[in-house]
Amino acid sequence: MSLLTKVLFRKKIPKILAGHIKNLSTQNENVNNDERETHFGFEKVKESEKQHKVHEVFENVAKDYDVMNDAMSLGIHRIWKDYFMCSLSPTHNTKLLDVAGGTGDIAFRFIDYVKTENLNDCHVTVTDINANMLEVGKIRSFNLKHEPSLISWQEGNAEQLPFKENSFNAYTIAFGIRNCTHIDKVLEEAYRVLQPGGRFMCLEFSHLENSAAQWAYDQYSFQVIPVLGQLIAGEWKAYQYLVESIRQFPNQESFKQMIEEAGFRQVSYENLTLGVVAIHSGFKL
């Protein structure tokens, strides 16, 4: 190789490599910029960021979650959840999966229902993506002296459940699905883990039927709930997000259509308290 060729080689190769590295960097930036956005309350965030942000919210509010539920709803959430369980109407041999149920509110009502009705061979599995919420539920369950054979706990993501298909004959999710990044994936997973004939039930905040009532509800939500969050849990932003997330959730008819698109049949919904919350139901047939 001549001296001239060596000089040119040495000068060109670093430039070529530098250009190649720059192109790769630009491509990576474009991939990140092209990532789909979703909502975190009223804020727009990358889809990959939402799960972490939601996880942080519930990690921070876990220990005061039940107290805040009482304060925000003036205790009415207890009636909603009682009615929700009565609507499910468990029978003998009900194997329930309660998703996003970390603190145990729905699971404990299931156990009470099973005992009251003297139902046999029933069990509830509670799953939640947040370990802190599950710990709160486990402590509550221990203090209530629940039989270990009736309840089990499993950390898991509603969008990718750690269970085999056709594992349960009932699925519940209460006030949790609106916090998920991909609601369609949650519904698909619910369908997958349910046995044929199994029932899907969701209790979630929704949209009021009356515009004047909706206005009054909005005033209470935005003016009062974050203040309560600050006073009781020391968490203004977390409860500001919770209020905003309710407004971003699909209305009753739109959510019903999503459930049908996931494969469920005989899909219906029932409004409670003028539509502050709604119960959605469907069957895997």
Tell me if 98 is assigned to a ligand binding site.
Answer: no
Q: What is the DSSP string of 151-206?
A: EEEEE-BTTB-SS-TT-EEEEEEES-GGGSS-HHHHHHHHHHHEEEEEEEEEEEE-
Q: Report whether 104 contacts 174 (CB < 8 A).
A: no
Model pLDDT for residues 217-231, shown as the tens digit of each residue: 999 999 999 998 888
Q: Which of the four pLDDT bands, split at 50, 70 and 90, describes residue 150?
A: very high
Tell me if 64 is assigned to a ligand binding site.
Answer: no
Tell me if 278 is assigned to a ligand binding site.
Answer: no
The dihedral through the CA atoms of 128, 38, 282, 69 has a sign that is positive
Q: Report whether 243 contacts 226 (CB < 8 A).
A: yes
**Confidence at residue 29, expressed as pLDDT on a 0 to 100 scale:** 45
Q: Which of the four pLDDT bands, split at 50, 70 and 90, describes residue 66?
A: confident
Q: 273, 109, 120: which is closest to 201 by C-alpha?
A: 109
Distance CA 103, CA 266 (A): 30
Q: What is the DSSP string of 95-146?
A: EEEEET-TT-HHHHHHHHHHHHTT-SS-EEEEEES-HHHHHHHHHHHHHTT-
Tell me if 103 is assigned to a ligand binding site.
Answer: yes
Considering the domain delimited by 48-283, tell me its CATH architecture: 3-Layer(aba) Sandwich (3.40)
Model pLDDT for residues 9-49, shown as the tens digit of each residue: 455 444 544 454 445 444 444 444 566 777 555 566 576 67
**Confidence at residue 16, expressed as pLDDT on a 0 to 100 scale:** 44
Residue spans of the domains in the chain: they are 3-34, 48-283
